[in-house]
Structure 1
Amino acid sequence: MSRPPFEPFTERDVELVSAQLGRPARDVIGIPARCACGAPTVVATRPRLGNGTPFPTLYYLTHPAATAAASTLEASGIMAEYSQRLIDEPDLADAYRAAHEQYLADRESLLHVEEVDGYSAGGMPTRVKCLHALIGHSLAVGPGVNPIGDLALAACTWSPEVCQCAPDQRGA
């Protein structure tokens, strides 16, 4: 099993992620996705935090405009539509289950954490619970891996190809 592909982080990345979150970033291990300006959009977080807490969310969406767009999309009720599609479309459900398995393999390649064994993110593999997590996963691994994350990203008013960062929050 190989380590998931993501860029190493810099101190500036940690500063930007902390500012994006409004709190100190915890246990950052990489930056799997960036804004067009270079600012972090998704952070990879250690599966067990330094204080011992299990942290199942390997790919964490941090970009303020992306998280706002995901929240707006969630408020629209689209998650119920996506969940119904998982019932109605067996190929979509199969691809979503494969995304879940890939997520687990990525996290397991870093560290086995018994408390979160079998749990991925966003409701995978059978429901749609958190578009933030699913969009973060899609951005981290690229299109074609998480079909629900891809659908949600396409439905967002935000795009990683257009910088919406505040001037002091832009990457290098």
Structure 2
Amino acid sequence: MTTPPYPPVSDADLAVLREQLGRPARGVVGIAARCVCGNPTVVATSPRLPDGTPFPTFYYLTHPAATAAMSVLEADHVMRELSELLAADEDVAAAYRIAHEAYLHDRSAFGEVDEIAGISAGGMPTRVKCLHALAGHALAAGPGVNPIGDRALALSSWSPARCVCAEPGSGG
């Protein structure tokens, strides 16, 4: 787990991000989580992009295998299951609200943007909207911070403990 502020992003990191994303990364302020091999998995992104656009998704999942795994879960309607869990379990709902506050706190270290004030990512604090964002937060913050992100990672076919960066199409 890496918490703000982050060490400077290297040119090598930016090159890997370009390969992972298929375009240059925008507004990167740090690498928030890395693959076990050292490649970026989650970037921390400025709350205002260089072109002036507000950007609420502070923790942005970049690893192609991780993003593919979250896409599979979304296609399999796992968000509905996680939304039901959120609605039924008060402890999960309370932890999710705390995760939302932690996300906002982390992002605020890089500036406040009025257009996105109080908005985190992934549907927090009341719904499950984007597993990519929630998994990114869970990876950046570490286990036990974002219960829905942790659950999505546990349900996925991808693991942060196993490198697949050298596999074709995986961004490494």
TM-score, normalised by the number of residues in structure 2: 0.93
Q: Which amino acid aligns with 1:43?
A: V
Matches of 2:120 and 2:100 in 1, distance apart? 6
- SS of 1:123's equivalent in the other structure is coil
How do 1:152-167 and structure 2 match up within 5 A? Answer: 152-166=152-166
Matches of 2:31 and 2:67 in 1, distance apart? 16
What's the offset of the Cα at 1:110?
Answer: 1.4
On the 8 A contact 1:5/1:32 being kept in 2, the answer is: no
Matches of 1:6 and 1:156 in 2, distance apart? 27
What's the offset of the Cα at 1:5?
Answer: 5.0
Q: How many residues align?
A: 168
What's the offset of the Cα at 1:6?
Answer: 3.7
Question: Could you say what the CA RMSD is over the residues aligned between the two structures, in angstroms?
Answer: 1.4
Matches of 2:8 and 2:109 in 1, distance apart? 16
What's the offset of the Cα at 1:166?
Answer: 2.9
Matches of 1:27 and 1:77 in 2, distance apart? 31
Unaligned runs of 5+ in 1: none
How do 1:1-172 and structure 2 match up within 5 A? Answer: 4-166=4-166, 169-170=171-172
What's the offset of the Cα at 1:108?
Answer: 1.2
- Identity over the aligned pairs, expressed in percent? 62
On the 8 A contact 2:5/2:109 being kept in 1, the answer is: no
What's the offset of the Cα at 1:160?
Answer: 1.2
Unaligned runs of 5+ in 2: none
On the 8 A contact 2:16/2:39 being kept in 1, the answer is: yes
Matches of 2:97 and 2:4 in 1, distance apart? 18
